Chains A and B, each alone.
Chain A
Amino acid sequence: MIVTSPPSPVISIQNLTKTYSSGFQALKSITLDIRRGEIFALLGPNGAGKTTLISIVCGIVTPSTGTVSVDGHDIARDYRAARARIGLVPQELTTDAFETVWDTVSFSRGLFGKAKNPKVIERVLRDLHLWDKKDNKIMTLSGGMKRRVLIAKALSHEPEILFLDEPTAGVDVELRRDMWRVVRGLCDNGVTIILTTHYIEEAEEMADRVGVITKGELLLVEDKAVLMQKLGKKQLALKLSTPIDRIPTALAEYPLALSSDGAILTYTYDKQTERTGIDTMLNDLGRTGLRFTDLESQQSSLEDIFVGLLETPR
């Protein structure tokens, strides 16, 4: 799938494939552009290739074929310039144990080629509510705090691009809120964010664009709003005054579903089409003598879309 974007993407991935030495093909010809300053959510089930994709861009995994450029710098030929722009928050809680929070975050800044700057470190630690833990050894911190440390490390060198690999997996509500506040702040300052998450509502809330990946293939990349519009179904639920056993034959041609208790009739329609068919369906419903006491319409969530896409036979 080739997705074209406006000029000068901040990350350009071309025909990227990865086959591990075990023979497992983790990525199958991925082509993807990430726009400067956007929040891009990569959705996919476990083993879809999300982490492999991120790891290749960050230089941790070697691609089999294909190219990746970061801000115009090829990740193989010009790896210094490419990597210096990137911050990575890994999925696993991989931290040192005996270092203090301050030391480990300062270490990361040096590692990425930046001169010491206590003010930047202080700001990052304060933003992540780590300031009062700065002299604590990492081993004494809770899992949530360690996650904050990993984010602080990734931000220590003021990256232009931030990768968050399942950042909210197993963290509490407070940290999640803090994290998204920081992410929004970064985005406001022009930082491009690429995240993978299982919490689809967060992608729905945070992302500008969504990519769906499964079995190493990018199924689609779309503006979130467009995706919701394009694939989003609406449903009209009618609460019947008297439950029924089955849908009357007069209504058989409509996309209707009956709840197990026979009390709710759900009509699914595509809101993109000009004629939703609601009026004729309701007329036909009236003719059958069925009465309803309440009605409710709702739009499918990104999660529904996501599950629907993955379930579609390919």
Chain B
Amino acid sequence: MNWHAVQAIYMFEMARTRRTLLQSIVSPVISTSLYFVVFGAAIGSRIQQVDSVSYGAFIVPGLIMLSLLTQSIANASFGIYFPRFTGTIYEILSAPLSSFEIVLSYVGAAATKSTILGLIILLTAGLFVPLHIDHPFWMLVFLLLTAVTFSLFGFIVGLWADGFEKLQLVPLLIITPLTFLGGSFYSIHMLPPFWQAVTLFNPVVYLISAFRWSFFGQADVHIGISVVAILSVLGLCLAVIWWMFKTGYRLKS
């Protein structure tokens, strides 16, 4: 293992976060706070409890997931796309680095950032609603697992994208709708049976469900199924990245 290189890339990426602190940390916190104000306080006060949890508290896991998914993808995709865009990728490719080390450092940094962000949002939420976490250990596990999985997905997007607009495209047009429709703000049991069945094709449902289970001990989908679903997405992302490096997709001609 070339640990010096892994450390160099990881620290480089973390330094980028510090430079863009406002964009990386502050703006998601502000937008999440706005969700709490609108959905939690203003509208939420008129909504009765969902699954015996107050609506304000109920949306906390979904809100954290919403930011975690979009930020993991944004961080990881930008991290690998930017050197491709500027051409500095030549140095990464010519360095004595394995594909695994490249992925570990970029995805590790992206996942670290979004995990920190997730925890900050959790603390912010604590200012608006009384927080209760049934399974703190599993909460952290799901937080990390989701951050890693979607950072891997972001890495794929960053390799695939051949322009800045494509970087925005996936989080904006795919992930945000899937998260909104994945039960961030409602229990899928509130949907008519047909849409409940359709929703089960949305992988984000399983993430939010599992994460919510760690908070309140109850889930839309059985926790075991959720874990299998998350690990499947993780495995799929790893397989795609493996293929990309094997073929040199968009990296090596």
Residues of B76-129 contacting chain A, CB below 8 A? 86-88, 90-98
Interface centre among B4, B7, B94 (most CB of A within 10 A): B94
Q: Is B46 among interface residues, defined by CB-CB distance under 8 A?
A: no
A59 to B253, CA, bound (A): 11
Point out the residue from A20, A58, A94, A106 that lies within 8 Å of B88, measured CB to CB: A94
Q: Is B12 among interface residues, defined by CB-CB distance under 8 A?
A: yes
Question: Nearest chain B CB to A166's CB is how many angstroms away?
Answer: 14
Q: Is B193 among interface residues, defined by CB-CB distance under 8 A?
A: no
Question: Nearest chain B CB to A156's CB is how many angstroms away?
Answer: 10
The dominant DSSP class at the B interface is: helix
| List of A residues within 8 angstroms of B4 by Cβ | 109-115
Q: Chain A: which residue is nearest B94 at the CB level?
A: A58
1/0 contact string of A137-181 vs chain B (CB within 8 Å): 000000000000000010000000000000000000000000000
Residues of A221-255 contacting chain B, CB below 8 A? none
Tell me if B8 and A110 are in contact (CB < 8 A): yes
Point out the residue from B12, B94, B252 that lies within 8 Å of A83, measured CB to CB: B94
1/0 contact string of A38-58 vs chain B (CB within 8 Å): 000000000000000000001
Known: A80-B96, A83-B94, A98-B19. A111 touches B86 (CB 8 A): no
| List of B residues within 8 angstroms of A59 by Cβ | 93-94
A95 to B97, CA, bound (A): 19
A94 to B91, CA, bound (A): 10
Of A84-92, A269-277, A298-306, the one contacting chain B is A84-92
Tell me if A111 and B88 are in contact (CB < 8 A): no
Question: Nearest chain B CB to A129's CB is how many angstroms away?
Answer: 22
A80 to B1, CA, bound (A): 10
Tell me if B91 and A108 are in contact (CB < 8 A): yes
| List of B residues within 8 angstroms of A111 by Cβ | 4-5, 8-9, 91-92, 95, 97
Residues of B1-32 contacting chain A, CB below 8 A? 2, 4-5, 7-9, 12, 15-16, 19
Tell me if A90 and B90 are in contact (CB < 8 A): yes
Known: A103-B15, A107-B12, A110-B4. A92 touches B87 (CB 8 A): yes
Q: Is B248 among interface residues, defined by CB-CB distance under 8 A?
A: yes
Number of interface residues of B (CB under 8 A): 25
A97 to B7, CA, bound (A): 20
Tell me if A95 and B96 are in contact (CB < 8 A): no
Q: Is A136 among interface residues, defined by CB-CB distance under 8 A?
A: no
| List of B residues within 8 angstroms of A86 by Cβ | 94
A115 to B87, CA, bound (A): 25
Question: Nearest chain A CB to B104's CB is how many angstroms away?
Answer: 14
Tell me if A107 and B8 are in contact (CB < 8 A): yes
Q: Is A295 among interface residues, defined by CB-CB distance under 8 A?
A: no
| List of A residues within 8 angstroms of B90 by Cβ | 60, 88, 90, 94
1/0 contact string of A102-125 vs chain B (CB within 8 Å): 010011111111110000000000
A94 to B87, CA, bound (A): 5
Known: A60-B93, A83-B94, A113-B96. A95 touches B8 (CB 8 A): no
A192 to B231, CA, bound (A): 49
A108 to B94, CA, bound (A): 11
Known: A90-B90, A95-B88, A96-B88. A110 touches B96 (CB 8 A): no
A62 to B5, CA, bound (A): 22
Question: Nearest chain B CB to A101's CB is how many angstroms away?
Answer: 14
Point out the residue from B5, B87, B93, B94 that lies within 8 Å of A113, measured CB to CB: B5
Interface centre among A92, A111, A114 (most CB of B within 10 A): A111
Question: Can you identify 15 A-B contacts, CB atoms within 8 angstroms?
Answer: A59-B94, A61-B253, A79-B96, A80-B96, A80-B98, A83-B96, A98-B16, A99-B12, A106-B8, A109-B4, A110-B5, A111-B5, A113-B4, A113-B96, A153-B91
9 tightest A-B contacts by CB? A110-B8, A94-B87, A80-B96, A83-B96, A58-B94, A111-B95, A84-B96, A110-B4, A113-B2
Q: Which residues of B contact A (CB under 8 A)?
A: 2, 4-5, 7-9, 12, 15-16, 19, 86-88, 90-98, 248, 252-253
